Structure 1
């Protein structure tokens, strides 16, 4: 047995060569021309595989945008418009991926279908709450339990039917249904989850305990509007500071998941920065507390920051600079608020995406 070839599709391609693998750049969070070229290149090669071949896939969050092959008549610009609209109205990643699976030849088991009758083994890093395989990178090697009607229902829910190119509806109505769990092609597929938000959160809890904190995991299913979730987490942290519940000082409470942002302003930010900004007013005046929230891939929204840090002094420090946290929140402008305070987290791209983590500290 030997490796005959393959592809690495990444937003930040490695500088070194990886022979015999071909390096293909793709776009994220919106698919781009590189994503389209990569999708076509991969699908064309998979058509040549036979029953004695083995396809090994390494799949992580972000794959939905990085690798794309829209069903005709859907164009790349139409797919970009749909993705941007869904992100703007605050659709969850699960809802977004229901649509993606029915619009793209790679997704919703499409990669496995193209490789059949070859055997397929996928090693998967989950960036989706609850780790449903069909939602991670839109499930290129997983059966799709959703239907075309469910995809149309997402458009109805957010009143997007009239705002999108006509090709979106035409594709949904004309594309073949995705392969379902009972399809025999999945007898030749093995999907293995090797990393997740839960694993990262538990590792963080262990590290916090080793650093001397009383540590506990609150949840790894955090979802909802980022500004609302930020207020809730800040309220929990305020209770920890004032009453020692649910953990006395020094403490670290950890929450994982993925929130969404309904964009109403013209500012810059991401879901973690928005969550942090919503916590500023709630934590104002508290001593020896800190809320840290971050995207594990190092990139929160369309910014170069992973997230931000908030303490009980953040609001006062901002006011001294003439910044109003509530005004920045209304304008979805968390990035510039925290940049002025030098409180953005900028580790750079980490190469691993297992959703977001929030840390509630009392000292």
Structure 2
């Protein structure tokens, strides 16, 4: 396969049939290890177990004899795999369930879909679809039917903000989609976007927990957000919310979003007290709610570091919380590689520097790209500078989204070396592509794309700097 068809799928024994440097192979091995360690089947099996009638989730236990019914609701890019893992543990003790999954994931319920008690509904990402709204509404109805003797297992994973969506009737889906698109294009961060979405929703910002009360709710989360804030993961359907309608209005104003009238009118009504606020931490709806984060960026970084060590490289984790403009992060990671190559600081080569987190793109051009693609292209441009200390060194930089899709593209990210961009003329063309937010085309032309397909997990971005001797 060509180099831009490289895959980190666990079923692929060789990520690239084309020749690659040791640095490139190590970078791909780190990404593969991070994804595999974060798969829901892996983390659920490690954290969830049942012995006799006692269900253990993390350090908490639940006596199933105290419940007459177990239901599963939720959504996200890792929800399908998490649901299948729960079914393998609980079997027919699950009475019913509805989850909303990514359209490209295996949403048929697994190998024995005919016997599944949990219905999979295919939604859309990064903006919600009518099918996703329909599935979410059914999940909320199932939660509302719960009583004190019901155990609700709520799956909340990366991507749930778009997939697990149910806008209030006065706003509707088209207005929600338009607003979401505008916020994404403006470069708003996830907390800001969620502050708006929570206040247009019947499920986000703790409203799922409110619907399920007085049932016992056990949240099972895979985090794709910096810091693992439960109110941010999937827009926090089972978590308290400190943001307000006024917060949502402030975000729209900060980014100059020309939101549909229905959106502004609903937020304004809420700010004036005419709409119920999202529940805060002191609300009684959270009295019987526990949420467990089973995987996050640190899960992937730890596995990637182990993979690097296995390859004879000395690994270091720079941070799991990298954020800000993607191209700026690319320049920073290139600078780290240059420092290692030039002075052996902060670590002597052969070295691997890892980072997680989530960067953003402020869209100004008409091209196609995503945060990881822009990050990688920016690093590749820095590597191509005549004065760069890595020009003659075995160096590689990989930036990818662990869910397998960077932004709205079909690539997970990209892998660049000191030779990817090339000479000064090539660097000028690459900069022009970056300015047009067209990193996808620029990196595809340079055979630098990483493709995985939908991975079935989502623990944010993973970046790998490799500097050989």
Give the CA deviation at 1:89: 0.6
- State the match for 2:259 in structure 1: 164
C-alpha distance in 2 between matches for 1:220 and 1:250: 22
Please list every run of 5 or more consecutive structure 2 residues that lacks an aligned counterpart in the other structure.
1-63, 65-92, 385-390
C-alpha spacing 1:352/1:318, structure 2 compared with 1 (3 Å):
farther
C-alpha distance in 2 between matches for 1:260 and 1:352: 20
Question: 185-194 or 308-317: which moved more?
Answer: 308-317
Give the conservation status (yes or no) of the 8 Å contact 1:60–1:353. yes
Give the conservation status (yes or no) of the 8 Å contact 1:10–1:26. yes
- State the match for 1:358 in structure 2: 463
C-alpha distance in 1 between matches for 2:302 and 2:392: 27
C-alpha distance in 1 between matches for 2:266 and 2:424: 49
1:93 equivalent among 174, 190, 194: 190
Q: Deviations over 1:306-337 (max 9, x none)?
A: 000111111117957x9811011011111111
- State the match for 1:235 in structure 2: 335
- State the match for 1:140 in structure 2: 237
- State the match for 2:445 in structure 1: 340
- State the match for 2:370 in structure 1: 270
TM superposition outliers: structure 1 runs of 4+ over 6 Å: none
- State the match for 1:199 in structure 2: 299
C-alpha distance in 2 between matches for 1:258 and 1:249: 27
Per the alignment, in what secondary structure is the counterpart of residue 103 of structure 1? coil
C-alpha distance in 2 between matches for 1:85 and 1:316: 35
Per the alignment, in what secondary structure is the counterpart of residue 294 of structure 1? strand
- State the match for 1:254 in structure 2: 354
Give the CA deviation at 1:302: 0.9
- State the match for 1:123 in structure 2: 220
Higher RCO (C-alpha under 8 Å, 6+ residues apart): 2
In the alignment, is residue 107 of structure 1 matched against residue 204 of structure 2? Answer: yes
Q: Deviations over 1:149-193 (max 9, x none)?
A: 222211121122xx1101111221243100100011111111111
C-alpha distance in 1 between matches for 2:341 and 2:175: 49
Give the CA deviation at 1:14: 2.6
- The two structures, once aligned, show a CA RMSD in angstroms of 1.6
Give the CA deviation at 1:141: 0.5
C-alpha distance in 2 between matches for 1:323 and 1:227: 15
C-alpha distance in 1 between matches for 2:142 and 2:218: 17
